[in-house]
C-alpha cells in the first residue's frame, strides 16, 4: 500500500477493553492505527505505533504536548489524519459531599479538555485528510445515577462540545460522538464481584436483552468514520440497547 492510500487513525485510551477493540477494529478495516494510553502497551494490542502518554500533561504542559504531537506527526509521515478517536476517560466515583478539587480537575482534564486540545492540535492533519473526530461519550451524558456527578458532568460537556465543534468547524472536519450504555468490559465485570445473578439482571434491564459488546461499538465507530457518512455531523449516537427509552415505574 502506498503512502497516498494509507489511512491513519489515532486512538486514545487503548489499554482498556474498548480501546483495544477500537484498535483491533480499525486495523482490520485497513487503517494504520496509532494507539496511546498512560499505561504501557498491552500485550497483543493491534496497532502500527504505540505512544505512552499522559493526557493530563498534554492539557497542562505545552512542551509535553508539543513533543507528543511531534511524535504523532512523525508516525503519520506527512499524510493526513483520517480519524481521531477520543476514547480515554477516567471514572472517579463520589457524591457532592465527597468529590475533591483534584477529582474534578483530573476528570475534566482527561474526559473533556484532552479531546478538545487533541482535536485543536491535529486540525491541519484532519483537514488534509477531510477527516473525522469521534468522541466516546456515555449514556451518563443524559441519564445518570448516584455517585457519578463528576463523570456524568464531563460526559454531558463532551457531548455538548461535540455539537458545538461541529457547528464551529463546519465542513472542515466532521465531529460526532458515541454515547454507550453498559459495555461488557473487564472493569464492568469486576464491578459485580462475580455476582453473575446481578450481571444477568443488568442484561435484562436493557430492552435488547443484553449488554453491549466492545467489538460492536468499534464497528459503529468504523461506520461513522466512513467517507460515505459525510452528512453525519454533530451527532451523539446512542449505543445503549434501548435502555434510555425505558421508563422504570412500578408495574
Which residues carry out catalysis?
A: 151
Say if residues 51 and 68 touch (Cβ distance below 8 Å): yes
How far is the C-alpha of 192 from the C-alpha of 176, rounded, in Å? Answer: 31
How far is the C-alpha of 33 from the C-alpha of 104, rounded, in Å? Answer: 31
Which DSSP category does 243 fall into? G
In the numeric block, the cell 463546519 is attached to 170
Burial of 227 (C-beta count, 10 Å sphere; 0-12/13-18/19+) = exposed
Kindly report the number of other CB atoms within 10 A of residue 49's CB atom: 17
User: Which residue from 29, 32, 49, 31 is spatially nearest to 41, judged by alpha carbons?
Assistant: 49
Amino acid at each position: 500500500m502506498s503512502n497516498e492510500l494509507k489511512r491513519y487513525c489515532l486512538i486514545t485510551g487503548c489499554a482498556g477493553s474498548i480501546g483495544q477493540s477500537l484498535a483491533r477494529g480499525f486495523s482490520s478495516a485497513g487503517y494504520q492505527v496509532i494507539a496511546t494510553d498512560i499505561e504501557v502497551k498491552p500485550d497483543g494490542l493491534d496497532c502500527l505505533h504505540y505512544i505512552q502518554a499522559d493526557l493530563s500533561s498534554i492539557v497542562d504542559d505545552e512542551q509535553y504536548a508539543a513533543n507528543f504531537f511531534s511524535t504523532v506527526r512523525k508516525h503519520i509521515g506527512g499524510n493526513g489524519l483520517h480519524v481521531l478517536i477520543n476514547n480515554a476517560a477516567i471514572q472517579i466515583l463520589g457524591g457532592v459531599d465527597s468529590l475533591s478539587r483534584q477529582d474534578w480537575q483530573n476528570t475534566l482534564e482527561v474526559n473533556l479538555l484532552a479531546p478538545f486540545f487533541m482535536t485543536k492540535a491535529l486540525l491541519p492533519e484532519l483537514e488534509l485528510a477531510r477527516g473525522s473526530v469521534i468522541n466516546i461519550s456515555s449514556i451518563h451524558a443524559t441519564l445518570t445515577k448516584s455517585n457519578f456527578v463528576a463523570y456524568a458532568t464531563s460526559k454531558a460537556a463532551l457531548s455538548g462540545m461535540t455539537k458545538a465543534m461541529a457547528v464551529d468547524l463546519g465542513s472542515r472536519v466532521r465531529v460526532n460522538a458515541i454515547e454507550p450504555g453498559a459495555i461488557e468490559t473487564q472493569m464492568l465485570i469486576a464491578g459485580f464481584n462475580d455476582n453473575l445473578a446481578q450481571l444477568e439482571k443488568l442484561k435484562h434491564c436493557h430492552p435488547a436483552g443484553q449488554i453491549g459488546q466492545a467489538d460492536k461499538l468499534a464497528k459503529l465507530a468504523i461506520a461513522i468514520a466512513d467517507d460515505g457518512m459525510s452528512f453525519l455531523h454533530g451527532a451523539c449516537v446512542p449505543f445503549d440497547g434501548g435502555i434510555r427509552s425505558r421508563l422504570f415505574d412500578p408495574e
